[in-house]
Amino acid sequence: MSTIAAISTPNAAGGIAVIRISGDNAIDVAQRIFTPFGGKNVETMEGYTCAYGIAHSGGERIDDCILTVFRSPHSYTGEDIAEISCHGGLFVSKKILRAALKNGAVIAEAGEFTKRAYLNGKIDLTQAESVMDIIAAKSETELKMAENLREGAVYKAAQKCSARLIKLLGGLAAWTDYPDEDIPEVEPNALSAELSEIAGDLSALIADYDRGRIIRNGVATAIVGRPNVGKSTLFNCLSGCRRSIVTDIAGTTRDVVEETVVLGDIALRLSDTAGIRETDDVIEGIGVEIAWKTVEAAELVIAVFDGSCPLTADDLELINKIKNKKCIAVVNKSDEETVIDEAVLKDSFIHLVYISAKENTGISELESAVNDIFEMNPDSFSMTTVSNERQKLCIEKALGAVREAINAINFGEMLDAVNVLLDEAEQSLLELTGEKITDAVVDEVFSRFCVGK
């Protein structure tokens, strides 16, 4: 394969930038553009060693740098790697990259370094996918899930099921192909019991997928209520900055304002909507219509009510329309006298929280309610959970085939049919780990990576 190079640090000015070079000629490329101080020879540098020197191009000095060498196979990609760390300016890092490209390297594609690690057997496909999960992690729980995936938690679980399937397939093949040999007969009840255990293990792998998805992707959340109940103040409070305009004038918010915030271990993709009420204002009416559509699409609704006022007809209409969704009723203005009809709210909502968005109080109670709705106690679900739809689909296909095999046994079908179904399940698990997969799927997985990783 060709020798590839890319800037592996963000495309922004910073304290340091790293230019990564990987491939059979990585050390040779590094020697052509980097000269260590003290006469050290780049070609003779051992793995896991560094040298301080000058990066240059065509005899022109570029920057003082540090070169780090990793020797095959003990490197991230499994190939020889040279990494040049320079001052973190955009121009200087790009100039060093251009020097590497002029001296034998080619620009790396998105995710190509990690793709080579996978192709060279350093990691399986689930571990490769965990790399972007680690980079994108926004909370402690999300990071822990990604780290478990990178350490091979899903791979090991899949391998365990795969090994049991292979053993069963071997037994079925031997008994079917050599009927005259002294081979123990396959006992349907024992086979069914074994497959039920495998099905249970596969089910456990995807049992917490939805909660894992919420941790990774966040929850689409609509903040709704009639005008002047404090929706925008709550939105700004959760956002930590002034994103929505707050005034005493009803109908100030006309359009949806969006922001992503982390509340505990859950990212909420907040939408601050227009105040819901009957109006003759054409523009405000459009905003109300958009607000209702946002509510319909939301995974969570935070319905805000003014605790200092009685419930209005607009409040009651809102309660009626959202009663079948995942909701938290937020009674705002708890710093004032509460006159709202609390009995109606308690009858309508499981989760009722009192806050003062103005005084920034009650937010911890709101956080607890969100965690309760989505059952986000980290102790309540497995950290060995699949990362994405590709992984989930592979396990679902394997699980479906195993369950069909159990049904075939129970209905007394020929063991040849069971054998075909178990082979299908095994192929799905090999697709999960990347041991048997098409180039198109591999390309799709790594296309979501950033260049330089």
Predicted confidence (pLDDT) at residue 83 exceeds the cutoff of 80: yes
Q: Which of 360, 379, 398 is the last residue of a domain?
A: 379
Instruction: Tell me phi and psi for residue 289, to 5 degrees.
Output: -60, -40
- Tell me the pLDDT band of 250, cut-offs 50, 70 and 90: very low
Predicted confidence (pLDDT) at residue 253 exceeds the cutoff of 50: no
* Spatial CB neighbours of 300, under 8 Å, sequence gap ≥ 6: 219, 220, 221, 222, 268, 325, 326, 327, 328, 370, 373
The H or E element containing residue 407 is: helix 389-410
Q: How far apart are CA 219 and CA 297, in angstroms?
A: 11
Same domain, 198 and 104: no
More confident site: 358 or 4: 4
Instruction: Tell me phi and psi for residue 133, to 5 degrees.
Output: -65, -40
- Which of 69-73, 184-188, 310-314, 337-341 reaches the highest mean pLDDT? 69-73
Give the pLDDT mean for 148-159. Answer: 88
Q: How far apart are CA 206 and CA 397, in angstroms?
A: 12
Give the pLDDT mean for 96-122. Answer: 95
| pLDDT tens digit sequence for 114-143 | 999 999 999 999 999 888 888 888 777 778
The answer to whether 194 and 168 are in contact (CB under 8 A) is yes
Amino acid type, 103 = N
> Residue 4's pLDDT is what?
97
* Spatial CB neighbours of 32, under 8 Å, sequence gap ≥ 6: 103, 104
Give the pLDDT mean for 263-285. Answer: 75
Lowest mean pLDDT among 79-88, 131-140, 162-171: 131-140
Q: Which of 379, 397, 426 is the last residue of a domain?
A: 379
Same domain, 264 and 220: yes
Give the pLDDT mean for 218-242. Answer: 81
The token duo for 140 is 């402690």
Same domain, 222 and 334: yes
Same domain, 251 and 338: yes
Same domain, 220 and 366: yes
- Tell me the pLDDT band of 328, cut-offs 50, 70 and 90: very high
C-beta neighbour count of 204 within 10 angstroms: 14
CA atoms within 13 A on the CB side of 216: 23
Same domain, 168 and 296: no
Same domain, 260 and 183: no
CA atoms within 13 A on the CB side of 276: 27
Average pLDDT, the chain: 85
CATH number assigned to the domain comprising residue 434: 1.20.120.430
* Beta strands 106-107 and 219-224, pairing class: unpaired
Give percent above pLDDT 70 in the chain.
90
Q: Does the residue 162 lie in any domain?
A: yes
Q: Does the residue 44 lie in any domain?
A: yes
Predicted confidence (pLDDT) at residue 15 exceeds the cutoff of 50: yes
> Residue 437's pLDDT is what?
81
Query: Judging by beta carbons within 10 Å of its beta carbon (0-12, 13-18, 19+), is residue 41 exposed, middle or buried?
Result: exposed
| pLDDT tens digit sequence for 332-383 | 988 888 889 889 999 999 999 999 888 888 889 998 998 888 876 655 555 6
Q: Does the residue 355 lie in any domain?
A: yes
Number of domains present in the structure of the chain:
3
Q: Does the residue 119 lie in any domain?
A: no
Same domain, 329 and 367: yes
More confident site: 39 or 398: 398
Predicted confidence (pLDDT) at residue 257 exceeds the cutoff of 70: yes
Same domain, 136 and 89: no
Which residues form the domain of 173?
132-208+385-447
Secondary structure class of 169 (helix, strand, coil): helix
Q: Does the residue 373 lie in any domain?
A: yes
Q: Which of 379, 413, 431 is the last residue of a domain?
A: 379
Give the pLDDT mean for 65-80. Answer: 97
Q: How far apart are CA 300 and CA 364, in angstroms?
A: 17
| pLDDT tens digit sequence for 179-200 | 555 555 668 888 899 999 999 9
> Residue 186's pLDDT is what?
67
Predicted confidence (pLDDT) at residue 39 exceeds the cutoff of 80: yes
- Tell me the pLDDT band of 445, cut-offs 50, 70 and 90: confident
Q: Does the residue 125 lie in any domain?
A: no
Same domain, 362 and 410: no
CATH number assigned to the domain comprising residue 39: 3.30.1360.120
Helix spans in 298-338 (H) = 313-322
Give the pLDDT mean for 281-295. Answer: 76
Lowest mean pLDDT among 6-10, 29-33, 131-135: 131-135
CA neighbor of 7 nearest in space, from 77, 96, 130, 87: 96
Predicted confidence (pLDDT) at residue 59 exceeds the cutoff of 90: no
> Residue 24's pLDDT is what?
96
The answer to whether 33 and 54 are in contact (CB under 8 A) is no
Q: Does the residue 126 lie in any domain?
A: no
Same domain, 360 and 391: no
Same domain, 29 and 89: yes
Predicted confidence (pLDDT) at residue 175 exceeds the cutoff of 60: no
Q: Which residue do the tokens 């329309």 mark?
A: 321
Q: Does the residue 227 lie in any domain?
A: yes
* Spatial CB neighbours of 410, under 8 Å, sequence gap ≥ 6: 192
CATH number assigned to the domain comprising residue 363: 3.40.50.300
